[in-house]
Amino acid sequence: MESELNRALGRVDMPRRRFVRLVGAALVGGAATSLLAACGGGGAAPTPAPAKPAESKPAEAAKPAESKPAESKPAEAAKPADKPAQAGPVAKPKAGASLRILVWSHFVPAYDEWLDNYAKQWGETNKVEVKVDHIRNADIPARLAAESAAGAGHDLFEFQAVLQAATYQDKLVDLTSAANAVGQKYGGWTDIGKKFGVIDGQWKAMMTYAILQPHIYRKDYFAEVGYDKFPDDYPTLLEASIKLKEKDHPCGLPLSNCNDGNHNWRSVLYSFGGAEQSEDGKKVTIASDETLAAIQYGVELYNKGMTDEVFSWDDAGNNRFLLSGRGSWIDNATSAYITAKSQAPDIYNNSAIALNPTGPGPKGGRRNGVDANAWGVWKWANDPDTAIAFIVDWYDQWQEWGKVTSGYNSPPLVDMWKKPMPGLEDPDFKIMEDWRELSFVAGWQGPFHGAIEEINSTFVMPNMFARAVRGETPEAAMKWAEGEYKRIFQQHGIGG
Partner 1 sequence: MAALAAAYQPRRPSRLRHVRKRALVYAGLCFYAFIAGLPVYWMFITTFKPDQDLYNLRAFPLFFNQHGVTLDHITLLFNRTGFVVWMRNTLVVAFAVVLITLLVSVPAGYALARLRFRGAESLTIGIFMTYLVPTTLLFLPLVKVISWMGQFDKLGALILAYPTFTIPFCTWLMAGFFKTIPFEIEEAAMIDGCSRLGAIRRVILPLSLAGMLTVGIFAFTLSMQDFVYALTFVSSSDQKVVNIGVVTELIRGDVFYWGSLMAGALIAGVPVAILYSFFLDYFVKGITGGAVK
Partner 2 sequence: MARPVAIPDARGRTALSGLHLLERPSVLGPVLVAPAILYILVLVGYPFVLAVYLSMTNTDVATTGLGRFVGLDNFLALFQTEVFWTALRNTLMFTLVSAVLKGLLGTLLAFLLAENLPGTRIFRFVILLPWTIPIALSSITWKWMFDTQYSIINWIGKNIGLIQGNPNWLGDQTLAVISIIAVNVWRGFPFSAIILLAGMASISQEVLDAAKVDGAGPVTRLRKIIVPMIAPILFVGSLYDLVFTMTDMTVVYLLTLGGPANTTHVLASLAFLVGVQSGALGRGAAIALLLLPILLIVVFITLRTLRRRDI
Say how far apart CA 345 and CA 356 lie, in whole Å. 24
Could you give the C-alpha distances from 496 to 55, 162, 291, 307, in angstroms and in order?
54, 21, 17, 36
Residue 296 Cβ, how far from partner 2 at the closest point, in Å? 18
Three-class SS state of 183: helix
What angle do the packed helices 259-271 and 460-469 form, to 10 degrees?
70
Residue among 410, 454, 472 nearest 164 (CA): 454
312: contact with partner 1 by CB under 8 A: no
From residue 242 to residue 261, the character string flagging contacts with partner 2 as x (rule: CB under 8 A) and all else as - is -------------xxxx---
As measured in angstroms, the least distance from the Cβ of 486 to partner 1 is: 27
Q: Is 174 helix (H, G, I), strand (E, B) or coil?
A: coil
Report, in Å, the least distance between residue 338 CB and partner 1: 9
Decide: is 9 part of the binding site for partner 1 (CB under 8 A): yes
- Interacting partner of 256 out of partner 2, partner 1, none (Cβ under 5 to 8 A depending on kind): partner 2
Q: Of 241-249, 265-273, 315-323, 413-421, which part binds partner 2 (CB under 8 A)?
A: 315-323
Residue 328 DSSP one-character state: S
Identity of the residue, 59 or 316, whose beta carbon is nearer to partner 1 in the bound complex: 316
Alpha carbon distance 459, 90 (integer Å):
39
Residues 465-484 that bind partner 2 (CB under 8 A): 466-467, 470, 480, 484
The count of chain residues that interact with partner 1, using the rule CB under 8 A, is 51
d(CA 146, CA 159): 14
Cα distances (Å, whole numbers) of residue 327 to 245, 248, 346, 351: 9, 9, 14, 11
Q: What is residue 418's three-state secondary structure?
A: coil
Q: Judged by CB under 8 A, which stretch of 150-158, 249-257, 353-361, 440-448 contacts partner 1?
A: 150-158
The residues near 432 (Cβ < 8 Å, ≥ 6 apart) are: 212, 214, 334, 353, 407, 410, 421, 424
Q: What are the angstrom distances between the C-alpha of 198 and each of 267, 298, 462, 488?
A: 24, 34, 27, 22
- What are 202's strand-pairing partners? 199
Distance CA 1, CA 386 (A): 24
In whole angstroms, the minimum distance from the beta carbon of 309 to partner 1 comes to 13
Tell me how far apart the alpha carbons of residues 237 and 215 are, in angstroms, rounded to a whole number.
Answer: 11
Query: Concatenated DSSP letters for 351-407?
Result: EEEEPPPBP-STT----EE-EEEEEEEBTT-S-HHHHHHHHHHHHTTHHHHHHHTTT
Site membership for partner 1, residue 339 (CB under 8 A): yes
Q: CB of 311: closest distance to partner 2 in angstroms?
A: 3
What is the pairing mode between strands 156-160 and 206-211?
unpaired
Interface map 395-424 toward partner 2 (x if CB under 8 A): ------------------------------
137 interface partner picked from partner 1, partner 2, none, CB below 5 to 8 A per type:
partner 1
Binding pattern for the stretch 154-193 against partner 2, x by CB under 8 A and - elsewhere: --------x-x--xxxxx----------------------
**Do residues 396 and 110 make contact, with C-beta atoms less than 8 angstroms apart?**
no
**What track of x and - describes contact with partner 2 for positions 318 through 347 (by CB under 8 A)?**
--xx--x-x---------------------
From 13, 55, 71, 133, residue interacting with partner 1 (rule: CB under 8 A):
133
Stretch that binds partner 1, among 133-141, 193-201, 269-277, 355-363 (CB under 8 A): 133-141
- Residue 285 or 339: the one with the smaller Cβ distance to partner 1 is 339
- Determine if 488 is a binding residue for partner 1 (CB under 8 A): no
* Residue 335 vs 406, nearer CB to partner 1: 335
Identify residue 139 by its one-letter amino acid code: D
Q: Which residues bind partner 2 (CB under 8 A)?
A: 141-142, 144-145, 148-149, 162, 164, 167-171, 255-258, 307-314, 317, 320-321, 324, 326, 450, 453-454, 457-459, 463, 466-467, 470, 480, 484, 487, 491
Q: Which residues bind partner 1 (CB under 8 A)?
A: 1-2, 4-5, 8-9, 11-12, 100, 102, 104-107, 109, 131, 133-139, 142-143, 145-147, 149-154, 259, 314-316, 319-320, 323-326, 332-333, 335-336, 339, 343-344
